[in-house]
Amino acid sequence: MKFAYRSRLQVRTFSGYQQLPDWASWTSGLTLGVSFGLLLSGILAIISGAVGLHDTASQTPALLIAGSISALLGSFIFSRVRPPSKHRIADIFAGFFSLSICSIINSGVIFYITDSVGHFDTALYEATVSLTTTALSTLDATQIPPEIQFFRGSLQWLGGLIVLILAAAIIPVTESKSEPSIQIERNEALVLGATRQAAISNILRIYIPLTFFLWAAFAFVGTGVFDGLLLAMSTVSTGGFVPEGNPFDDPATQWVTIAGMCLSGTSFVVLWRLASRKIGELRNSFELRIYFLVIALSATILFIFSHDFSYENFRASLFVVASALSTTGFPATITGEWIPVFTVLILLITAIGGMAGSASGGFNIRSLIILTRLSVREMVRQLHPRSVSSIRIDDKSLSESTVDHTVVLQFLFVAVVVITCIGVSITELDLFSGLNAAVHSAATAGPLRSINGDLIEVSEWTRPTRSLLMPTMILGWLAIFPVLIVAGEFISFLKSKFKSLKRSAIRMRSNE
């Protein structure tokens, strides 16, 4: 018999204290994700409420109360978990997935009770857009108080940090060490740290100072302290939320934003090497060269074929391309003539996205390089069937498992886009608008443009259409593959439970 007193690791019985058994890896991962989701979103709500204390903020009490309840509940759930000594990879992914879902639901509740939106499903959509750093917001910054603007901005900042930790710290460190070629591929990511804890620490040492650096730069050029902070959080996280007014009318603000978007679209391995003054090692990075080449070529195409050779149009062309490739999604347009092929070009580079290991979404440039070289290799094999060649990046051979993983990721990315396009086209959108919305949702990007280059207001879409985009945003934000691993693990869990119940039923019948 057990009663009364319980700690995290021990339980008091008549015979004394006994150590409680560890939770299963699957249960522990999911529950820890829920606790962190409640805790983090609750802390953001408390901080946002504190931001409104300097003025007669209308939503400060609601933010403080909701944030405190959420943070306390998250802390309580965390104190109940007894994690095993080591989690399986699939269960780590499950923890990130449950963290994201819990954060979205809790943040949606906060958006709803603070009257930021009119319907609860719209509140969930806005929370999804925020956490996944997708620039398809329905909020008008002029219609919400500063404390809600801060909550919206800090939520996307947190979303950028979460996906960085998953992509640059969790996945590389949990790869297999048995195959030499895989070990070579891990060396790039292991620049951030040989252990998961070291990699996360180094990511924080880049992400937080970069945010403060951009904040100072925006404030210096005259954006203002509060608006500069919101812009800095949007730029670092590639979230694209714009504060009240139109700060991009100022040329200096545009240049600071262009530099910030280009940095945020690069790999954090690149930023770490820059911070460590190992600039010489970046000269051999083929992916980095392709990244800046795409920016330069795309901006040049917009600049030349828009038939406006002014300095303002050059800056605007560079801004539009950097916003699309980094998937930041700040709204801007060129000053020259917009031709339909520009919309296709922007859609294409948005789908590609930034470098692997960055906060940007999209298919990423590294995967594009692998697929291109795989296509060349297969064409060579048609001419020389006995030829043996490996795919190399920066003079390093990639394992066939990595190549296969890239091919599967390409198929999944295209499949998600096609399914989403069909879904939103059935609800209200035409085929091009549906494809446009699907690509931007899967790449966690924005804003949407018509074929004539006009910016599209997502708030004018029906609520079912926006709801159909939410799963695509989450899939794109978590790089699709981890979510499918979690789904496969969950299906296997349900099958095992069903088989267990079936065996129990058969056993009961035989006993009768």
Of residues 149 and 487, which shows the higher confidence score? 149
**Cβ pair 137, 241 in contact under 8 A:** yes
Task: pLDDT band for 41, please (50, 70, 90 cuts).
Answer: very high
Give the residue from 156, 161, 162, 159 showing the smallest Cα distance to 230: 156
pTM for this structure? 0.87
Q: Which residues contact 462 (CB under 8 A, 6 or more apart)?
A: 427, 428
| pLDDT tens, position by position, 199-211 | 788 888 899 999 9
The answer to whether the beta carbons of residues 91 and 25 sit under 8 Å apart is yes
* Cα→Cα distances 106→70, 110, 118, 328, Å: 8, 6, 16, 24
What integer is the mean pLDDT of 222-235? 93
pLDDT tens, residue by residue, 383-431: 877 777 778 887 777 777 778 878 888 888 899 999 999 999 998 888 8
CA distances in angstroms from 459 to 146, 147, 434, listed in the order given: 20, 21, 15
Take residue 143 and report the two structure tokens written for it. Answer: 């219609």
Closest CA to 227 of 237, 208, 241, 213: 241
13: pLDDT confidence band, cut at 50, 70 and 90?
Answer: very low
3-state DSSP call for residue 1?
Answer: coil
* Terminal-to-terminal C-alpha distance of the chain: 32
* Long-range interactions of 122-128: CB distance < 8 A, separation 24+: 122/463, 122/466, 124/467, 124/470, 125/463, 125/466, 125/467, 125/469, 125/470, 126/152, 127/103, 127/155, 128/104, 128/470, 128/473, 128/474
Q: Residue 190 above 90 pLDDT?
A: no
CA distances 23 to 89, 192, 469, Å, are 16, 31, 35
Spans of all domains in the chain: 483-512
Q: pLDDT band for position 11 (50/70/90)?
A: very low
Residues β-bridged to residue 19: 10
Map tokens 């439970």 to a residue: 497
Model pLDDT, residue 45 = 94
Once rounded to an integer, what is the mean pLDDT over residues 73-86?
89
Q: Is residue 56 predicted with pLDDT exceeding 80?
A: no
pLDDT for 330-369, tens place per residue?
988 899 899 999 999 999 999 999 888 888 888 889 888 8
Where residue 479 falls (left for φ over 0; alpha for ψ -120 to 50; beta otherwise) is left
**Strands, DSSP E only, in 107-158?**
none
Q: Which residues contact 209 (CB under 8 A, 6 or more apart)?
A: none
Structure tokens belonging to residue 487: 């789904």
Give the span between the Cα atoms of 112 and 124, in whole angstroms: 9
Position 423, amino acid: G
pLDDT score recorded for residue 191: 61
Residue 82, CA distances (Å) to 32, 33, 94, 298 in order = 10, 13, 16, 52
Q: How far apart are CA 470 and CA 459, in angstroms?
A: 14
